[in-house]
Amino acid sequence: MKVLLAEHAGYCFGVKRAVELAIKTAQDNDNKVYTLGPLIHNNSAVDMLKEKNVFSVDDINNVEGDNIIIRSHGVGKEIYDHCSEKKINLTDATCPFVKKIQKIAYEMYNKGYNIIIIGDKSHPEVQGINGWCDNKAIIGKNLEEFYLIDFNNSKKYAVVVQTTMPQDTFFAVKEYLISLGLTLEFYNTICFATKERQQAVLDLSKKVDAMLIVGGKHSSNTKKLAEIAKKNCDTFLIETAKDIDLEKIKTYDIIGVGAGASTPDFIINEVMDLINEL
Catalytically annotated residues:
125
Q: Annotation-wise, does 41 bind a ligand?
A: yes
User: Rg (Cα) of the chain, in Å, rounded?
Assistant: 20
Q: Determine if residue 251 is labeled as part of a ligand binding site.
A: no
Residue 8 is assigned to a ligand binding site: no
Handedness of CA 86, 63, 106, 93 (dihedral sign): positive
Nearest CA among 165, 103, 158, 91 for reference residue 128: 103
Work out the angle between the directed axes of helices 43-51 and 13-29 (0-180°, nearest 10).
20
Q: Is 84 flagged in the annotation as binding?
A: no
Cross-strand partners of 68: 90
User: Could you tell me if 31 and 66 are in contact, meaning their C-beta atoms sit under 8 angstroms apart?
Assistant: no
Does 73 belong to an annotated binding site?
yes
Question: Is residue 123 annotated as involved in ligand binding?
Answer: yes
What is the C-alpha separation between 260 and 157, in angstroms, rounded?
Answer: 31
User: Are 141 and 119 within 8 A, CB to CB?
Assistant: yes
Instruction: Kindly report the backbone phi and psi dihedral angles of residue 202, in degrees, each rounded to the nearest multiple of 5, phi listed first.
Output: -60, -45
Nearest-angstrom CA–CA distance, 164 and 15: 13
Is 220 within any annotated ligand binding site? yes
Closest by CA to 160, choosing from 122, 121, 104, 111, is 104
Is 221 annotated among the ligand-binding residues?
yes
Q: Determine if residue 219 is labeled as part of a ligand binding site.
A: yes
Q: Which DSSP state fits 244? A: -
Residue 163 assigned ligand-binding role? yes
Amino acid at 195: K
Binding residues for [4Fe-4S] cluster: 12, 95, 191
